[in-house]
Structure 1
Amino acid sequence: MTTTSAHLPVWLTFCALVAPFTFSAAELPAASPNVVVVLADDQGWGDLSLHGNPNLSTPSIDSLARDGAHVQNFYVCAVCSPTRAEFLTGRYHNRMGVYSTSTGGERFSADEQTIADLFRAAGYATAAYGKWHSGMQFPYHPNSRGFDDFYGFCSGHWGNYFDPMLEHNGKIVRGKGFIIDDLTDHAIQFISDQREKPFFVYLALNTPHSPMQVPQPYWDRFADKSLTPDPVPENAAKQDTPHTRAALAMCENIDDNVGRLLEHLKQTGHDRDTVVVYFSDNGPNGHRFNGGLRGRKGSTYEGGLRSPCLIRYPDKIPAGTTVEQFGAAIDLMPTLADLAGIDWQAAASPDRPVDGISLAAALCGQETDNAADRILFSEWRNRLTARNGQYRIHSNGQLFDLLKDPREQHDLADQKPEVVERMMTQLTAWQDSWKSDYPPGKRPFTIGHPDAQWTQLPARDATFTGTLQRSNRFPNCTYLLDWTDTESEITWDVEVLDHCRCEVQMYYACPAEDVGASIELSLGSESLTARIDRAAESPLIGAEHDRVPRQEGDVRRWEPLSLGTIELRPGQRTLRLKATKIPGSQVAEMRLLMLRRLPANPVQPKS
């Protein structure tokens, strides 16, 4: 194992820990395999029958372990957007500017290479379907990060799972049916459409994340079912609840869709030459069976960080393989690239070394010592943790022997001071390697990108003054209401990337009795005025499908209104939206602005 100086991180004491394993030329696949990565949202390690959960059945997901490999100790982040960034780049999210789950903090740096960039450059057709949660505007949008086709939503959560408002390559569309079924349909269609190229599909499902909505047949399986509590419950009284029942029902719906996907691969002759990966983005979003692991979503204990990881590739990975070597989301990019014969090391930027290692050798039954002394790190909200082959250290000083105490019940810090000192030194060195740039300074929202026909500026990313209020404390799917005076303003700090002219649409709701308000949109010296001249009657939707009272706000069937056109000039400015006249009791409820880039004016011939 060798490491060149160009790829050495500043923390030289453990440079060997990120050095990757690669196949020799003789071991590379003869043909490029297809790749399908399925990522669940808020599904815990224990939400599979494979892991001993007696409360549900997940035969399709479990079959990936039977017919492929089971990475028994696999780690992600405490919450969703950091995990997605780490999967997409093979690098720790802290190095890339990800510091929250909304309002811009979910974006990783625009100059990072993604796994889709890597596979598309190797000749793959690429697609992402579902929850993106890594930036909404170009160059953070999935179509700007290596994915040819995108259908889903870019926010962190969504407020309605039945016929919801989604987007397709930037353009707002309406989904069809239950969202997980719909997303899987798109993945299946994309696979069917590929005739000339191998395909890379990222199917980022958004359940069992709340709101707790699931089709009736799945709910009926659990509505009255007696549930077995977790073997070492953190809070037994909170486990046998409608929330838990809905989550389990959603997991069984995911399993059926994974089954549909696997059957389609078989029917199209791709079952053996396709790598299928299944994992989740963090621990469970509630108190339920999780194999006795401590913590859940948001925690940096095992229960918050440990994820299922199943990888099937019949042409290369022996059925029933068990991988004892622990892995992480940062390992999937180098692992999949190795399985596809793609030289990811040559493609990596010298100043952005990949933190992950390839698990391809272990998956394919080859011996490797590249992870003998490996240590994995994680951080969320100033809680840091690291684990090696035996121990997990927490920044609060707690030390646990995961081989003997996987449930982290017995703190050994007083008994193992030398282990604490060594691992805390490593943890501090890792933090020092990124903390000076974390979190990043204020980053505006980008508009006017030359490759973007559609650019969305949602209410979740806006700031506002006066009487205006946000519809819910969780910003991702919110809208603004109580817009009742001409002093209130809605603003976005933006950076215009290219000189262009755009049509601006506002997605809104307004009862007939309040029609007639005049509004002004301004950006620097440019402005436009418009009148809300038609009603957009839209009752609240979403809650009628809920199995438990929701924390997220309700949503509406928003309608677009063209406000006119505005010229964008490069530079950082504040985009302002305000009312100039309000004949009724309010202006409107505002969900988002959509900017549609117009063709450049043709050069007029000289007379």
Structure 2
Amino acid sequence: MTRSFASTMTLGHRMPTPQPHHCRTGFRATTLVAAALICLASIACFQPRIALAAEHPNVVIMLADDQGWGDLSVHGNTNLSTPNIDSLATDGVLFDRFYVCPVCAPTRAEFLTGRYYARTGVRGVSTGQERINPDEVTIADIFKQAGYATGAFGKWHNGSQFPYHPNARGFEEYYGFTSGHWGHYFDPMLEHNNEITRGKGYITDDLTTHAMEFMESNHKQGKPFFCYLPYNTPHSPMQVPDEYFDKVANRPLKMHNRNPKQEDMPHLRAALAMCENIDWNVGRVLKKLDELSIAEDTIVIYFSDNGPNGWRWNGGMKGRKGSIDEGGIRVPMLMRWPGHIVQGKTIKPIAGAVDLLPTLTELASVSFSPKKPLDGRSLVPLLSGETPQWDDRMLISYQPPRGGKGKTPEPRVSVRNQRFRMDAAGKLYDITADPGQDTDVSKRHPDVVREMKQTADQYVQELGDLVKPDERPFPVGEAPITLLPARDGVEHGSVQRSGRAPNCSYFTHWVGAPNDAITWDIEVSETATFDVEIFYTCAADDVGAEFQLDFGDAKLTGKVTQAHDPPAYGAEADRTPNRGSESYVKDFKPMHVGKITLAKGRGPLKLSAIKVPGDEVMEVRLLRLSKQK
């Protein structure tokens, strides 16, 4: 018998009879080959277990950002009301224990590829660490190849430049932002198919509107659609329309965290309001499917990317976002397909995001030949009214080494099966009876501890080295337009970021000291000429600053000739007095600089000052490089 594992959710621990799409990955190279052969063979011979309403049903996946397991009324939380999301459990199934990664980008990578995030190239959540390697096949690639219209609307968080951009990963239509955080949720700067645009209204409402338009348009054309709606709430900043916040501002709250003293009440109430706004938008999607008379032809899934982003009621579980304990990675998961999967059933076996690709491809009768073994397991047998043969499995939560001063960095690994969870310290908990991880039962079950430790050690041995510092450059020239945001750059000298978190930041305090510079580590795919624009701000007293952009022997000089000094904003919409790491935003203006020919190859693209007549050169949000024909 060969063990199998995953970063946060893995395939069956024992599975003597291969099932459709149930690709198993073990620790040895020979097992990897065998797993691939099993996967290919099973795909070739599978027969759908569930009758299809149409040849290919539509698919809608809604993904919340930082919504905990406890942030739904269907799970017993009386602090909020989420009737539309709850209805998916009534009309479909609710997964009792569904696991993801402790932070955003890894979960998205596992959903999109059906593979452990450590395999996909994802190492973190910003500065390029969130990118999925170009050689990975995404679920959108698969459905697009099968003839589906594919669209994504929201927070991508798996790469910004081509070939990492969603338009290069199987999504024909994209509207949203590719970063991990965003600084303002009302009329924000977004992008539409790699072109910068301006959102309209509250971001969650706007994303939903675009998704519904995509669904309706393709339905009218008679084309099945695969619609991915990755929301970015209730992630900070804690901004939500008045009509939702006012409902909860003075609402009596009866449900509290296991340690109520940790609760930040303004943050908590804002999160509840944001979850109720998400619920309203889920209701809009479901209503649209009814209006188009395609509810029975559409698979709908709702889940979240990690545990809650604040201390609030979460079923007594230990941990929150960023933790590999139960509360950090157990999330809501609901699915419906009226008339085709069982209704009103709670799925008890553990499962996770990595399972969704093999599950959806089987449900939709979309066959494919994976180039690499999948780590997910099709959940189709659990979706019928019958009791399936379902073997127990081990799920692994992994975070790369994090060492403090004077400490040796060690990876953090947690392993669980249906009953037990072993934490990063090697303590064992009967998680079904003890979700708070309060009582260590390792001495009572030494065999379980031994097996789980061996699984954890083998996982780290095989995949641990893959989650390492990211040295990949940012591609330039793979598409007609390349956007290089401040997030992907590096500040030098006196230059500073506008916020601690890079994702929605801009560069400021560029005073023109000798060592001041802004660089991007880029790789130009082929020698070409690019038209350069800088999205900037500049005070009137600083107009006249001269600067240079260079790459290798190529140089382009420019001069700031117009003042553009808008105020930073965002604080007026925040529901919490302390914004945390998020940067406030400004309305940056594009400044045309000129043309530069960049030679094929890798190196630093550098912005430096030539002349600084005032206090600063300018503030920089991003570069836009347009490839000339």
TM value normalised by structure 1 = 0.94
Q: Counterparts of 1:367-386 in structure 2 under 5 Å? A: 367-369=387-389, 371-381=390-400, 382-386=411-415
Superposition deviation, residue 240 in structure 1: 5.9
Superposition deviation, residue 81 in structure 1: 0.6
Q: Counterparts of 1:511-526 in structure 2 under 5 Å? A: 511-526=539-554
2:18 matches 1:2: yes
CA deviations on 1:81-119 (whole Å, 9 max, x unpaired) are 110000000111111222211001111211100000010
CA distance in 2, matches of 1:180, 1:171: 20
Whether the 8 Å CA contact 1:72–1:324 is kept in 2: the answer is: yes
Aligned partner of residue 295 in structure 2, secondary structure: coil
Whether the 8 Å CA contact 2:395–2:417 is kept in 1: the answer is: yes
CA distance in 1, matches of 2:250, 2:387: 48
- 2:232 is aligned, of 163, 182, 206, to 206
CA distance in 1, matches of 2:375, 2:334: 21
- 1:393 is aligned, of 394, 412, 422, to 422
Letter in 2 for 1:248: L
Q: Counterparts of 1:165-184 in structure 2 under 5 Å? A: 165-184=189-208
Letter in 1 for 2:370: A
CA distance in 2, matches of 1:502, 1:528: 11
Letter in 1 for 2:393: R
2:408 matches 1:348: no
Superposition deviation, residue 257 in structure 1: 0.3
Q: Counterparts of 1:410-449 in structure 2 under 5 Å? A: 410-439=439-468, 442-449=471-478
Superposition deviation, residue 486 in structure 1: 5.1
Whether the 8 Å CA contact 1:507–1:590 is kept in 2: the answer is: yes
2:12 paired residue number:
none
CA deviations on 1:258-310 (whole Å, 9 max, x unpaired) are 00010001001111100010000000000101111111001111100101000
CA deviations on 1:228-260 (whole Å, 9 max, x unpaired) are 233xx3431232601000000000000000000
Superposition deviation, residue 10 in structure 1: 3.2
Superposition deviation, residue 5 in structure 1: 14
Over 3 Å counting, the alpha-carbon distance change for 1:334 and 1:5 in structure 2 is: closer
1:222 paired residue number:
248
CA distance in 2, matches of 1:468, 1:268: 53
CA distance in 2, matches of 1:5, 1:43: 28
Letter in 1 for 2:18: T
CA distance in 1, matches of 2:548, 2:185: 34
CA deviations on 1:337-390 (whole Å, 9 max, x unpaired) are 11100124xx211xx211110011211335433x41311111124211111121
Q: Counterparts of 1:34-53 in structure 2 under 5 Å? A: 34-53=58-77
1:402 paired residue number:
431
2:519 paired residue number:
491
Superposition deviation, residue 79 in structure 1: 0.6
Any stretches of 5+ residues in structure 2 without a counterpart? 1-16, 401-410
Superposition deviation, residue 406 in structure 1: 2.4
Aligned partner of residue 273 in structure 2, secondary structure: helix
- 1:471 is aligned, of 476, 498, 502, to 498
Over 3 Å counting, the alpha-carbon distance change for 1:17 and 1:82 in structure 2 is: same
Over 3 Å counting, the alpha-carbon distance change for 1:316 and 1:5 in structure 2 is: closer
1:604 paired residue number:
none
2:619 matches 1:589: yes
CA distance in 2, matches of 1:557, 1:439: 35
CA distance in 1, matches of 2:379, 2:31: 19
- 2:378 is aligned, of 329, 349, 358, to 358
Over 3 Å counting, the alpha-carbon distance change for 1:289 and 1:13 in structure 2 is: farther
Superposition deviation, residue 192 in structure 1: 1.2
Over 3 Å counting, the alpha-carbon distance change for 1:184 and 1:27 in structure 2 is: closer
1:570 paired residue number:
600
1:507 paired residue number:
535
2:160 paired residue number:
136
CA distance in 1, matches of 2:57, 2:237: 36
Letter in 2 for 1:513: D
Q: Counterparts of 1:11-90 in structure 2 under 5 Å? A: 11=28, 23-24=46-47, 27=50, 29=52, 30-90=54-114
CA deviations on 1:43-76 (whole Å, 9 max, x unpaired) are 0000000000010000000000100111111000
Superposition deviation, residue 570 in structure 1: 1.8
Deviates more, 1:497-506 or 1:161-170: 497-506
CA distance in 2, matches of 1:284, 1:5: 30
Superposition deviation, residue 25 in structure 1: 5.1
Whether the 8 Å CA contact 1:28–1:340 is kept in 2: the answer is: no
Whether the 8 Å CA contact 2:22–2:376 is kept in 1: the answer is: no
1:105 paired residue number:
129
Superposition deviation, residue 26 in structure 1: 7.2
Superposition deviation, residue 6 in structure 1: 11
TM value normalised by structure 2 = 0.90
Any stretches of 5+ residues in structure 1 without a counterpart? 601-607
2:352 matches 1:322: no
- 1:461 is aligned, of 453, 467, 488, to 488
Over 3 Å counting, the alpha-carbon distance change for 1:139 and 1:583 in structure 2 is: same
Aligned partner of residue 349 in structure 2, secondary structure: coil
Deviates more, 1:278-287 or 1:354-363: 354-363
Superposition deviation, residue 2 in structure 1: 3.3
- 2:590 is aligned, of 530, 545, 560, to 560
CA distance in 1, matches of 2:262, 2:27: 45
Over 3 Å counting, the alpha-carbon distance change for 1:13 and 1:50 in structure 2 is: farther
Whether the 8 Å CA contact 1:486–1:581 is kept in 2: the answer is: no
Superposition deviation, residue 498 in structure 1: 2.5
Deviates more, 1:139-148 or 1:534-543: 534-543
CA distance in 2, matches of 1:264, 1:364: 26
CA distance in 2, matches of 1:402, 1:9: 25
Superposition deviation, residue 537 in structure 1: 2.1
Whether the 8 Å CA contact 2:78–2:255 is kept in 1: the answer is: no
CA distance in 1, matches of 2:299, 2:28: 34
Letter in 2 for 1:199: F
Superposition deviation, residue 465 in structure 1: 1.5
Whether the 8 Å CA contact 1:125–1:197 is kept in 2: the answer is: yes
Letter in 2 for 1:480: F
CA distance in 2, matches of 1:13, 1:366: 35
Fraction of identical pairs, as percent? 49
1:605 paired residue number:
none
Whether the 8 Å CA contact 1:372–1:389 is kept in 2: the answer is: no
Deviates more, 1:309-318 or 1:59-68: 309-318
Whether the 8 Å CA contact 1:17–1:374 is kept in 2: the answer is: no
Over 3 Å counting, the alpha-carbon distance change for 1:412 and 1:25 in structure 2 is: closer
CA distance in 1, matches of 2:339, 2:617: 61
CA distance in 2, matches of 1:2, 1:311: 24
Over 3 Å counting, the alpha-carbon distance change for 1:329 and 1:17 in structure 2 is: farther
2:213 matches 1:189: yes
CA distance in 2, matches of 1:211, 1:456: 24
Superposition deviation, residue 444 in structure 1: 0.8
Deviates more, 1:145-154 or 1:385-394: 385-394
**How many residues end up aligned between the 2 structures?**
590
CA distance in 1, matches of 2:322, 2:239: 22
Deviates more, 1:193-202 or 1:9-18: 9-18
Superposition deviation, residue 532 in structure 1: 0.9
CA distance in 2, matches of 1:269, 1:366: 28
CA distance in 1, matches of 2:519, 2:51: 52
